[in-house]
């Protein structure tokens, strides 16, 4: 038979082994949760977010480490939920920061687009103003050219009228000169005719005077015969 001492020794070993297994299990649960928390706390993207939630998770891990056997399961649950909450809050803050950054970038892009559109509108307005100015200058130049053409046409018309008037005046002068020449010729002919008559009468006067014949006796006039 086995002695009672040996039985007690074996029972003690079993109890110690059970305590050791339980302690090891408790340590494994704590280490698992601690590793999860450290993964979140050391994540470069999440480390600076949700500090309050991180502190609460850290406190729950400390409480789990010091909890009695009867409270460990509760604190393990609390610690895991707080780690989940800390991770979710950190990720939410990260996403919110990214959203805010994206919103700022979008606002910056919108401002840049609005500034570009405004500059483009100003450029279009300036181009339209220049085109309108060019059209106005061209219209003014065309008007000046038309006025110049009209003035030149009027001058040409006046020159033509002056030339016609001068030609008519020349015709009238030629006619007058021709008339004057004809009158002068006629006058010269008359003067020549007048100057020729005395020249022919002079020899008649120098000839000896012939005796004048006696006048014939007048016949008595007879009355006309009656029919």
* The residue count for the chain: 227
pLDDT score of 213 more than 60: no
pLDDT score of 109 more than 60: yes
Residue 9's pLDDT is: 46
Query: In the predicted model, what is the mean pLDDT of residues 79-103?
Result: 94
Token pair for 223: 């009355």
Per DSSP, the residues of the chain read ---HHHHHHHHHHHHHHHHHHHHHHHHHHHHHHHHHHHHHHT-TTTTTS-HHHHHHHHHHHHHHHH--HHHHHHHHHHHHHHHHHHHHHHHHHHHHHHHHHHHHHHHHHHHHHHHHHHHHHHHHHHHHHHHHHHHHHHHHHHHHHHHHHHHHHHHHHHHHHHHHHHHHHHHHHHHHHHHHHHHHHHHHHHHHHHHHHHHHHHHHHHSPPPPPPPPPPPPPPPPPPP-
pLDDT score of 75 more than 70: yes
Query: In the predicted model, what is the mean pLDDT of residues 31-44?
Result: 94
Question: By percentage, how much of the chain surpasses pLDDT 70?
Answer: 75
pLDDT score of 68 more than 70: yes
Q: pLDDT confidence of 15, banded at 50, 70, 90? A: very low
Residue 53's pLDDT is: 94
Residue 225's pLDDT is: 54
Residue 16's pLDDT is: 40
Radius of gyration of the chain (CA): 75
Query: In the predicted model, what is the mean pLDDT of residues 4-20?
Result: 45
Per-residue pLDDT of 113-172, as tens digits, reads 999 999 999 999 999 999 999 999 999 999 999 888 888 888 888 888 888 888 888 888
Nearest to 80 by CA among 147, 34, 118: 34
Residue bearing the bigger pLDDT, 112 or 200: 112
Q: pLDDT confidence of 63, banded at 50, 70, 90? A: very high
Residue bearing the bigger pLDDT, 10 or 74: 74
Tell if the pTM clears 0.75, that is, is over it: no
Question: By percentage, how much of the chain surpasses pLDDT 90?
Answer: 49
∠ CA 90-96-100, rounded to 5° = 145
* Number of neighbours of residue 188 by Cβ within 10 angstroms: 10
Residue 120's pLDDT is: 92
Residue 189's pLDDT is: 85
């Amino acid at each position: 038979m086995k002695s009672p001492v040996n039985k007690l020794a074996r029972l003690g070993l079993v109890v110690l082994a059970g305590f050791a297994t339980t302690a090891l299990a408790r340590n494994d649960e704590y280490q698992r949760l601690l590793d999860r928390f450290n993964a979140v706390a050391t994540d470069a993207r999440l480390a600076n977010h949700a500090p309050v939630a991180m502190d609460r998770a850290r406190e729950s891990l400390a409480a789990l480490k010091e909890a009695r056997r009867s409270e460990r399961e509760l604190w393990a649950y609390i610690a895991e939920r707080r780690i989940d909450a800390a991770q979710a809050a950190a990720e939410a803050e990260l996403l919110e920061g990214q959203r805010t950054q994206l919103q700022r970038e979008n606002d910056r892009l919108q401002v840049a687009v609005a500034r570009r559109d405004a500059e483009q509108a100003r450029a279009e307005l300036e181009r339209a103003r220049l085109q309108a100015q060019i059209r106005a200058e061209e219209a003014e130049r065309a008007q000046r050219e038309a006025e110049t053409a009209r003035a030149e046409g009027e001058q040409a018309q006046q020159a033509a009228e002056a030339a016609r008037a001068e030609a008519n005046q020349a015709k009238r002068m030629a006619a007058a000169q021709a008339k004057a020449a004809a009158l002068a010729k006629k006058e010269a002919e008359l003067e020549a005719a007048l100057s020729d008559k005395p020249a022919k009468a002079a020899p008649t006067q120098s000839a000896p005077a012939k005796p004048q014949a006696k006048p014939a006796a007048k016949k008595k006039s007879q009355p006309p015969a009656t029919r």
